[in-house]
Amino acid sequence: MKQVEDKRFSRYYALSKESLLSKFKTSEDGLSDQQAAKLLKENGPNALAQGKRKNIVQRFLDQFKDFMIIVLLVAALISGLVAKEWADAALILAVVIINAIFGVFQESKAEEAIDALKEMSTPEAHVKRNGKLETISSENLVVGDVVLLEAGDIVPADIRLLDSASMKIEESALTGESVPVEKSAEVLTDEDIPLGDRKNMAYMNSNVTYGRGVGIVVGIGMDTQVGQIAGMINQAEDTGTPLQDNLNSLGKTLTWLILIIAAVIFAVGIFNNHDGLPMNELVINMLLVAISLAVAAIPEGLPAIVTIILALGTTRMAKRKALVRKLPAVETLGSTEIVASDKTGTLTQNKMTVEKVYQYGKLQDASEPISGTDKVLQVMTFSNDTKIQSDGTLVGDPTETALIQFGFDHDYQVEDELVKEPRVAEVPFDSERKLMSTIHRLPNNKYLVAVKGAPDMLLQRITKIQVTPDEVRDFTDADKAEILKQNKGMAVQALRVLAMGYKIIDQVPTTVDSDTVENDLIFAGLIGMIDPERPEAAQAVAEAKKAGIRPIMITGDHQDTAEAIAGRLGIIKPGDDNTVITGAQLDQLSDEEFDKKVQQYSVYARVSPEHKVRIVSAWQDKGKVVAMTGDGVNDAPALKSADIGIGMGITGTEVSKGASDMVLADDNFATIIVAVEEGRKVFSNIQKSIQYLLSANLGEVLTLFMMTLLGWDILLPVQLLWINLATDTFPAIALGVEPTEPGIMDRKPRGRKSSFLGGGIGSSIVYQGILEGLITLGVYGLAITFPVHTTNAAMHADALTMAYATLALIQLFHAFNVKSTYQSIFKVHPFKNKMFNIGVATSFIMVAATILVPGFNGLFHVTELNMLQWSIVLGAGVLMVLIVEIVKFFQRRADK
């Protein structure tokens, strides 16, 4: 039933006036108060429905659903209750809670978009009730109400026009149409007319820029086109980012592995029982060791470290005009493979601009000089209703303001000229004849008739042509053919073409109308206009392609315009076939057919909000990470459905910003490429932190496992936990602010299936973790073999202290290795990052203090080391760096 209703709703444009009045049981005098009250009670107010909202407590609790977070909470509980390590338990809890607070604080709320839609609605509407004109709250509108619209009004509901007088409505936020749409009341009989071509419809929240009209309300609230968009925003599910997917997968894998290893160590310790302890004491000791290992091995600081790295990334991006509303969006940009961009206001400037001028038989660029005495310049600025404000701003139809701006740009004093040659009469623009004429009194008491309009309509009224600034001759068929050729040439380039004509008359006709004024005209010239691409957009598209990112254009504008702009930007190449598709053509494809063909299309024209969501979903079904940019209400559902929605900060509606993950403060498409580079840098640095943490933790696990297996003295829980606290946090965070590595934008996007352990990171973690463990065990063995003290207790105490110091400090040396996966540390400027230097130094002091500061020895069960022993410990750290450098050297040779 719902589908049938939607179909009927979409075809109100095909019903006659009589059918509409009959269907809604109304008349041209409007509804009665009784009818309106009854309908308001039955259908509810003309307002948008609110999606179900989560309160702040629910959002906070949602942060704890991650598997790794749950395990950490369990580990904290066991650490406190069983191991009595309350300090460590408190630390883990603090990390988890801080991470949750960050998540709640940064989480973007979909209902902000709905709130913004509601705020856009006009508070009042002019309706006919009981045959009288009334002004009522727009929320009290009902279907069947007869509404009056005039220039300056915001359309209060979806309306089928019954009458239109030169009315134009600006619909770019809804349809993507770059110029106001001329409206008429004529019945449209074609099947499935795209939204932007329904000339007899006025849609909620669009703006009347010219003329006036009368219409009947056919949709209110959620039954309007804007309501459908609000419904799609409410229903859209938040897409998990690649970062979140990677962290969840990594967390589960690590947690299970660590729990298994801890269980094995517990079992081996019980089985060996080298010290001959009673079973109850042995079980407690090994349980403490297993728990300590699990807590030390699980990188509990990882969620917080990732959050901090992302937060630092958002700060850097904000300085570069990219404002991030969701933390994971920082990294998502780095894995983006498809950038689906709206055209109007995103790739283009969202303002009509004169680009070509044809006069005296020559076509010239708008930037070339033009004389103030040329009639084409005079006509375009005289036959014009633009209001010039005292501060110089222009108010009016975008096409007409562009003509005035063209005059300003060529030092034509429009206001002064209009004072000298004032307007005395006019024939307003009419959508049927597609012309506008004004009459101006000249200083010699004659009158200038200035006419502008559609070339085909104006040429019917031309009898002469201006061939030089001083010469006018009769208009010939050859002249007409040449003008039509120029018109077609500009139209092929998606330019909107207007023709200019004029004549000089001795007196103003008694009756001023088209028949008396618009005849025997002199052809002055043509002008070609377009909403031009942003100057930096073409370079940004080229850089995106170089980075392996595919840009596609999705717009509500006409196919020719979209194709021309896409060609100028380099999104498509001239001569490319089957790269452009319209919304109507898309409707003819099933989901299965579109899924097979989606990769061949780079430009989508005349599309609706539903189409945009479908396009984004089709690419996501291919496993691609999709970024969607947009500034209009019609972009909001796709912005929310995309992996990362990018709104425009200046021209964007609050609706599009509310549905976005990131907002461009400068509306600059090139800023996206800057943000992509920052996203790739963030991923690379998170990857470095993970490599550092996991290789260090693997070294700890291997050391403890082998000590248990060999029956050696085992590092105590307090020692393991202090190593974890001292060496994990500061260097890992500092690695998150490493400078961008050269060539990062020459790599292909990672995509959704990429892993933090990909690109050789996983194998590096394994061999480097094993290396850390073996070197630590080697130092312990060396200390036992060549003891400083002769007593058994002192010898083992020294060996355990050296192993403790080596395991901690070797990680700090290894942090320098991790600055680059393959590059030598001597090429990446090892001491360039001041935060890294401070972090490593702080960690070193924290470890050394437990051995060197009096009183700490007993707390951490360590002994003082002499210079030789310290030399061995530090030498082990240097050995770690040298071995990894040798491995990197052979890896680079193998890659070449």
The residues assigned a catalytic role are 342
Backbone phi and psi for residue 852, each to the nearest 5 degrees, phi listed first: -90, -30
Q: What is the 3-state secondary structure (H, E, C) of 550-613?
A: EEEEECCCCHHHHHHHHHHHCCCCCCCCCCEEEHHHHHCCCHHHHHHHHHHCCEEECCCHHHHH
Spatial distance between the Cα atoms of 123 and 457, rounded to a whole number of angstroms: 40
Q: What do you get for the CA distance between the two ends of the chain, in Å?
A: 64
As a whole number of angstroms, the distance between CA 633 and CA 296 comes to 50
Judged by DSSP in three states, 61 sits in helix
DSSP 794: H
Cβ-contact 633, 173 below 8 angstroms:
yes
What's the angle, vertex CA 326, arms to CA 329 and CA 544, rounded to 5? Answer: 25
Residues with Cβ within 8 Å of 702's Cβ and at least 6 positions away in sequence, in order, are 769, 770, 772, 773, 774
* DSSP state letters, 691-718: HHHHHHHHHHHHHHHHHHHHTPPPPPHH
DSSP 123: S
* DSSP character at residue 46: S
Read off φ and ψ for residue 170, nearest 5 degrees: -85, 115
Q: What angle do CA 822, 824, 825 make, to 5 degrees?
A: 120
Rounded-to-integer distance, Cα 68 and Cα 693, Å: 15
Helix 302-319, helix 669-710: angle, nearest 10: 160
CA 756/CA 759 separation, integer angstroms: 8
366: which residues sit within 8 A by CB, 6+ positions away? 353, 354, 355, 356, 357, 406, 409
How far is the C-alpha of 646 from the C-alpha of 823, rounded, in Å? 34
User: By CB neighbour count within 10 A (0-12 exposed, 13-18 middle, 19+ buried), where does 498 fall?
Assistant: buried
Range 150-186 burial, b when 16+ CB lie within 10 A, else e:
ebebbbbbbbbbbebebbbbbbbbbbbbbbbbbbbbe
Using CB atoms within 10 A of its CB, is residue 280 exposed (0-12), middle (13-18) or buried (19+)? exposed
What's the token pair of residue 227?
């309501």
The answer to whether 722 and 278 have CB atoms below 8 angstroms apart is no
Helices (H), 44-85: 56-62, 67-81
Q: How many CB atoms lie within 10 A of CB 555?
A: 33
Is residue 96 a contact partner of residue 64, using CB atoms and an 8 Å limit? yes
Write out the two tokens for 769: 């973790």
How crowded is residue 62: how many other Cβ atoms within 10 Å of its Cβ?
14
Q: What is the dihedral of CA 677, 683, 687, 688, to 10 degrees?
A: 40
